[in-house]
Amino acid sequence: MNFPERFSNLPAYAFPRLRALLDVHEPGGEVVHMTIGEPKHAFPDWVRDAVMRNMESLNSYPANDGSEPLRRAICGWVSRRYGVALNADRQVMALNGTREGLYNAAMALCPEVKNGQTPVILMPNPFYQVYMIAAMSVSAEPIFVPATGDTGHLPDYAALPSDILDRTAIVYICSPANPQGAVASREYWRGLLALAEKHDFRIFADECYSEIYRDTPPPGALQVAQDIGADPERVVIFHSLSKRSNLPGMRSGFVAGGPECIARIKQLRAYSGAPLPGPLQAAAAEVWADEEHVTENRRLYREKYAVADAVFANTSGYVGPEAGFFLWLPVEDGEQAALKLWRETGVRVLPGAYLARDVGGQNPGRGYIRVALVAPRNETERGLIQLRDCLYK
């Protein structure tokens, strides 16, 4: 029996790799989970009521592209947050989690050939792993662009050779960045949009962490595109309720962009997609319309930023995140640090190399660990103190 070769050389995914590294050893203390970015703050109580009120819709197939109330709620949120008016019928589609959208948008929008050659899909390194799999699935060449301290933890796409940029069909960019917490400024977005215009590619803006920040709301890709009069087909954005509203299990996100892009994504969804169940669509519409719970959620993360800043105040190399809920902490070797921490304290973190790809023998995540600030404040503080005392003293 034959099997496809295209994914046969993939390394194990980050979390199976982590289990293989750590689980053969006993933890050195009470376990503190700081690996996966799964929010643990409470979601609003009324979400349960909203789901239950709409349970009868399970008797019907859900709207494939998102119900009209959900799409209008999403458009209302985009208008309030970014000042961008979207057409709910032509520029928005609901997603069953943004990972689905980040993958299928490449399937729908990446051309088979760019300037007579194999197309390129650019992505930051470290990166969210679905970007790479999407590129491989459409037979594009994935190119991993360093996002290190030297580049402000965002990829410098403009530094790439022109022959690569001329083959580029899609660029992935995550802002606020996972794992580093860096935020793309308006100047960064303007530069990337100009580069996209010059070399004729699309920008896929993964903005799932946009509502968790210290002081200033991160600017959005569509917002800056509108401000400078860029072609709306240049930018496709992706958002989610997972981080914003502590609802990762709801699997509710959306994709938005130019009408032609969204039409092609919808066409693919019509054949292959799995829409969000009706009761969850109805509840999601109410969640997108409410900001009170988001403000409270952000306050809780700001408290944990302050805790991290205090714990690591005298730690060389510590840089607190601008946004998001991860610490990207420098160590000599991420795997060795994660194993030492687990065996001596029971604190569980993710080696940075598991989120990056070796390029030219270098892995930009090797000298880091990623630490998720998702647990309650007291547990987070306890874990961070143990981490500091184990690895930095």
14-37+293-391: CATH topology is Aspartate Aminotransferase, domain 1 (3.90.1150)
Domain locations in the chain as residue ranges:
14-37+293-391, 46-290
Looking at residue 12, its pLDDT comes to: 84
Mean pLDDT of 138-162: 97
State the residue for tokens 């961008």: 84
Range list of β-strands (E), 178-306: 202-206, 235-240, 252-257
- % of the chain surpassing 90 pLDDT: 95
Does residue 274 have a pLDDT over 90? Answer: no
Residue-wise pLDDT tens digits, 101-135: 999 999 999 999 999 999 999 999 999 999 999 99
How many whole angstroms separate alpha carbon 207 and alpha carbon 255? 10
Q: What percentage of the chain exceeds 70 in pLDDT?
A: 100
The confidence score (pLDDT) of residue 10 equals: 81
Instruction: Quick: pLDDT tens for 196-208.
Output: 999 999 999 999 9
**Confidence grade of residue 386 (pLDDT, cut at 50, 70, 90):** very high
* Of 212, 213, 208, nearest in space to 239 by CA: 208
pLDDT over threshold 90, residue 276: yes
Local confidence band at 4 (pLDDT 50, 70, 90 cut-offs)? confident
The pLDDT-based confidence of 3 (bands split at 50, 70, 90) is: confident
Per-residue pLDDT reduced to its tens digit, 52-77:
999 999 999 999 999 999 999 999 99
The predicted pLDDT at position 272 comes to 87
Q: Which of 308, 343, 306, 299 is nearest to 328 (CA)?
A: 308
Closest-CA residue to 253 (of 292, 218, 295, 211): 211
Residues 6 or more apart whose CB falls under 8 angstroms from that of 306 comprise: none
Residue 5: CA atoms inside 13 Å, Cβ hemisphere, count? 0
187: part of which helix (H) or strand (E)?
A: helix 186-199
In contact, 220 and 185? CB cutoff 8 Å: no
SS3 percent helix, strand, coil of the chain, rounded to 5, is 45, 15, 40
Tokens representing 222 are: 């569509």
Query: What pLDDT sits at residue 1?
Result: 79
> Is pLDDT of 277 > 90?
yes
pLDDT grade for 229, boundaries at 50, 70 and 90: very high
pLDDT at 9: 79
pLDDT value at 273 more than 80: no
Amino acid at 132: M
State the pLDDT confidence band at 6, using cuts at 50, 70 and 90. confident
Instruction: Evaluate if pTM is beyond 0.85.
Output: yes
Q: Which two tokens stand for residue 319?
A: 């840089």
Q: Quick check: 236 and 98 in contact, CB under 8 A?
A: no
Helix (H, G, I), strand (E, B) or coil at 348: strand
pLDDT by residue (tens digit) across 320-375?
999 999 999 999 999 999 999 999 999 999 999 999 999 999 999 999 999 999 99
pLDDT band at 23, cuts 50/70/90?
very high
Question: Residue 393: what pLDDT?
Answer: 84
User: 46-290 — its CATH code?
Assistant: 3.40.640.10
- Order the strands of the 350-351 sheet from edge to edge: 326-330, 368-372, 350-351
User: Which pLDDT value is given to residue 388?
Assistant: 98
Mean pLDDT of 292-308: 98
- Taking the C-alpha atoms of residue 211 and residue 97, their distance in angstroms, rounded to an integer, is 16
What was the pLDDT predicted at 245?
97
Q: What is the pLDDT of residue 136?
A: 94
pLDDT in tens, 158-189: 999 999 999 999 999 999 999 999 999 999 99
The pLDDT, as a whole number, for residue 59 is 94
pLDDT at 62: 94
